[in-house]
Amino acid sequence: MDAGRRRRRRVRHRQAGAGAAQAGRPARAVELRAEGQLVHRPGAAVAARRRPDRVPPGLGAAARRAGRAGEGLRHRRRPGRARPLRRVRRRVDGGGPGDAGARRAARAGPGAGGAADRRDHPAHGPRRRRRHRQAARRGDQDRARRRRVRPHLPRRPHGRPRTGRLPRPPGADVTAVAEPKAPEQRSAAREELAWISWLRVFAIAGVVTIHTAAATTAIEDARGQWRGLVAIIIDIGAVFTVPVFVMVSGALLLDPRRYRGAGDFLRKRAWRLVPAILFWHLFYLGFRYWYKDETFTWNQVVNEFLNGRTYTALYFFWIVLGLAIITPMLVPWIATASRRAVLIAGAGAAAMPILTMATLELRGTAVTWIVTPWTWWTPYLGFYLLGWALRGVVLRGFALAGVAVAAVGLGAMTIWQWNNEAAPDWLQDISPVTYYGLGVHLYSIAVFLLAQALIRPGALLGVLARPRPAALGRLLGDATLGVFALHLAVLGVIVDERWIGDDVAAASVLQLLLRIGAVLALTYVIVLVARRVPVLRRVF
């Protein structure tokens, strides 16, 4: 008998007991013989339920209904299944299971004023049954959804069936993509991930700044002029951009809940990256040939392609392609590892390029792991793992203030150290201003943690996590790969056509800032328009 039927029986017992109390008839013990055993069931209401034809008239309509319902239930039993028998002790006050209403009235005393117990109210039965049906309906829907999204998997060695879900990874704000979500849930998830979209936008703005200000930082006595000093500050201050891009890729691609197998993952990443790599290499070959008036042979084209030297900044495609290839080997381990284990692995992988650069002078050798484009991902593996390990780490209070101070201090030290004769040699050797140096690693991690803590609802930059700003950040963030690839061509056209200034280096601080804004805005407009074309969307 299910829970709903037992609940309805208890309601009928209470109603019958209340009717008996109102009629003034004392409860009596009824002896029933079933299958040769004597069963004691106190209470006239119970006897009426078993023998509806002998219901005393004084018990009222409630007892008669209980008797008819009990008779129907008894006849609906499956053949061969006898009603379980139990011995019920007779109460001292003579009450039985059906006299609960009378006992409550007696305990209430004469001063109760006829107050009715809410459990005796006849409306509570239908309400309770309605709630039970609604809960059962929700349970059926949940079970159907689980059957729909969970594949058939073998059992574990100790007998428990596999669930088809990987263990919960670090980063509690992640939601499973296989589970259908309501619109409000999707909106909340987008607001939670708004910091990733806006961090990508800030990073691409830093990339454009680095390439636009590079010529101005190279002028003679750059630190002695305002334009040169400002160019150095905004150029070297944005050195975190490429490492942060790699960390964002790790935070998204290493999510076990989004992982649907090696074949599915590699197919999607290849469909996203391989056409883009081929298109942009051909694009810049044509740009150099028709716009820059450069000439080259086929051997030179192949040589530059295999060495990743077709054009500046195309190296990033090779980095993300190499990391995507090794991702199917990382996700199964990450799914079962703790955050601490992933953090230790990421720190160990990041220590390899740091130690390599720190001991470069002692060894007297050159860096050899980045000669070919298919090995460029190696020094970025630490950033890739740390991106996932630090996702969901939201700093508050003194921890947030400490990381903010560290980020400002590391950024200032990097700006002061770059191309500065006053910087000590030991600092240049231990922590050079490159993507593989210790200072840049710590600086990038601090920026990543700050963005995650500040760009969320209720934080300092929480306005960016609201629905409309979050949607704008998602739109701009999804276009960053196209902006990364195209902005160099836009910069070349602006400089060569002398739209803003007559020289490669900016003549003033205002001219430098105008160039940066023009390159960023024009590139974004072209990319956003191109992404509306289905074919071009694959490469922008």
Examine residue 228 and state whether it is found in any structural domain, yes or no. Answer: yes
Residues 97 and 212 in one domain: no
> Which of 161, 191, 160, 162 has the alpha carbon at shortest distance from 175?
191
For residue 338, what pLDDT is reported?
A: 92
**What distance in Å separates the CA atoms of residue 530 and residue 295, rounded to the nearest whole number?**
29
Tokens (6 digits) for 86: 């139990």
Tokens (6 digits) for 355: 């130690």
What dihedral angle (degrees, nearest 10) is formed by the CA atoms of 381, 386, 389, 392?
A: -140
Residues 96 and 218 in one domain: no
Examine residue 303 and state whether it is found in any structural domain, yes or no. Answer: yes
DSSP state of 155: B
pLDDT tier at 176 (50, 70, 90 boundaries)? very low
Query: In this structure, how many other beta carbons lie within 10 angstroms of the beta carbon of residue 369?
Result: 14
**What distance in Å separates the CA atoms of residue 475 and residue 469, rounded to the nearest whole number?**
10
For residue 150, what pLDDT is reported?
A: 42
Q: Which residue has the higher pLDDT, 5 or 68?
A: 5
**What distance in Å separates the CA atoms of residue 384 and residue 370, rounded to the nearest whole number?**
17
With vertex at residue 239, the alpha carbon angle to CA 233 and CA 244, rounded to the nearest 5 degrees, is: 140
**What distance in Å separates the CA atoms of residue 538 and residue 151, rounded to the nearest whole number?**
31
Helix (H, G, I), strand (E, B) or coil at 34: strand
Helix (H, G, I), strand (E, B) or coil at 180: coil
Phi/psi-derived region of residue 220, left when phi > 0, alpha when psi is between -120 and 50, beta in every other case: beta
Q: CB of 280 within 8 A of CB of 485?
A: yes
Residues 214 and 344 in one domain: yes
**What distance in Å separates the CA atoms of residue 234 and residue 223, rounded to the nearest whole number?**
13
Examine residue 70 and state whether it is found in any structural domain, yes or no. Answer: yes
Query: What range defines the domain where residue 18 resides?
Result: 3-77+88-107
Examine residue 162 and state whether it is found in any structural domain, yes or no. Answer: no
Residues 380 and 480 in one domain: yes
**Dihedral sign, Cα of residue 185, residue 189, residue 192, residue 194:** negative
**What distance in Å separates the CA atoms of residue 374 and residue 277, rounded to the nearest whole number?**
13
Q: CB of 44 within 8 A of CB of 60?
A: no
Burial call 393-426: b when 16+ CB within 10 Å, e when fewer: ebbeeeebeebbebbeebbebbbbbbeeeeeeee
**Phi, psi at residue 29, to the nearest 5°?**
-80, 135
Examine residue 25 and state whether it is found in any structural domain, yes or no. Answer: yes
Residues 297 and 420 in one domain: yes
Secondary structure in 3-state letters for 441-500: HHHHHHHHHHHHHHCCCCCCCHHHHCHHHHHHHHHHHHCHHHHHHHHHHHHHHHHHCCCC
Q: What is the pLDDT of residues 369-415, one digit of tens each?
A: 566 788 889 999 999 999 999 999 999 999 999 999 999 999 999 99
Residues 207 and 93 in one domain: no
Residues 460 and 319 in one domain: yes
CB-based contacts of 269: which residues, under 8 Å, 6+ apart? 253, 321, 324, 327
Residues 478 and 349 in one domain: yes
The tally of domains found in the chain comes to 2
Choice among 50-59, 216-225, 422-431, 485-494 with the minimum mean pLDDT: 50-59
CB-based contacts of 447: which residues, under 8 Å, 6+ apart? 240, 244, 407
For residue 17, what pLDDT is reported?
A: 60
Amino acid at 45: A
Q: CB of 342 within 8 A of CB of 388?
A: yes
41 bridge partner residues: 30
Please provide the DSSP assignment of 334-355 as one string.
Answer: HHHS-HHHHHHHHHHHHHHHHH
Examine residue 130 and state whether it is found in any structural domain, yes or no. Answer: no
Residues 69 and 199 in one domain: no
Q: CB of 209 within 8 A of CB of 200?
A: no
Residue 469 has pLDDT above 90, yes or no: yes
Q: What is the pLDDT of residues 25-80, one digit of tens each?
A: 444 444 444 444 444 444 444 444 444 444 454 445 555 555 554 444 444 445 54
Q: CB of 93 within 8 A of CB of 103?
A: yes
Amino acid at 438: L
For residue 295, what pLDDT is reported?
A: 87
CA atoms within 13 A on the CB side of 9: 15
Helix (H, G, I), strand (E, B) or coil at 471: helix
For residue 124, what pLDDT is reported?
A: 57
**Phi, psi at residue 496, to the nearest 5°?**
-70, -35
29 bridge partner residues: 42
Q: What percent of the chain has pLDDT over 70?
A: 67
Tokens (6 digits) for 442: 């710590």
Examine residue 521 and state whether it is found in any structural domain, yes or no. Answer: yes
Q: CA–CA distance from 71 to each of 64, 94, 97 (Å)?
A: 11, 25, 18
Q: What percent of the chain has pLDDT over 90?
A: 47
Examine residue 133 and state whether it is found in any structural domain, yes or no. Answer: no
Residues 376 and 468 in one domain: yes
Q: What is the pLDDT of residues 505-537, one digit of tens each?
A: 999 999 999 999 999 999 999 999 999 998 899
Q: CA–CA distance from 540 to each of 39, 243, 316 (Å)?
A: 82, 21, 14
Query: In this structure, how many other beta carbons lie within 10 angstroms of the beta carbon of residue 177?
Result: 14
Query: In this structure, how many other beta carbons lie within 10 angstroms of the beta carbon of residue 348?
Result: 12
Residues 103 and 239 in one domain: no
Phi/psi-derived region of residue 366, left when phi > 0, alpha when psi is between -120 and 50, beta in every other case: beta
Q: Please compute the mean of the pLDDT values over residues 323-347 and round it to a whole number.
A: 94
Choice among 153-162, 227-236, 283-292 with the minimum mean pLDDT: 153-162
Residues 374 and 229 in one domain: yes
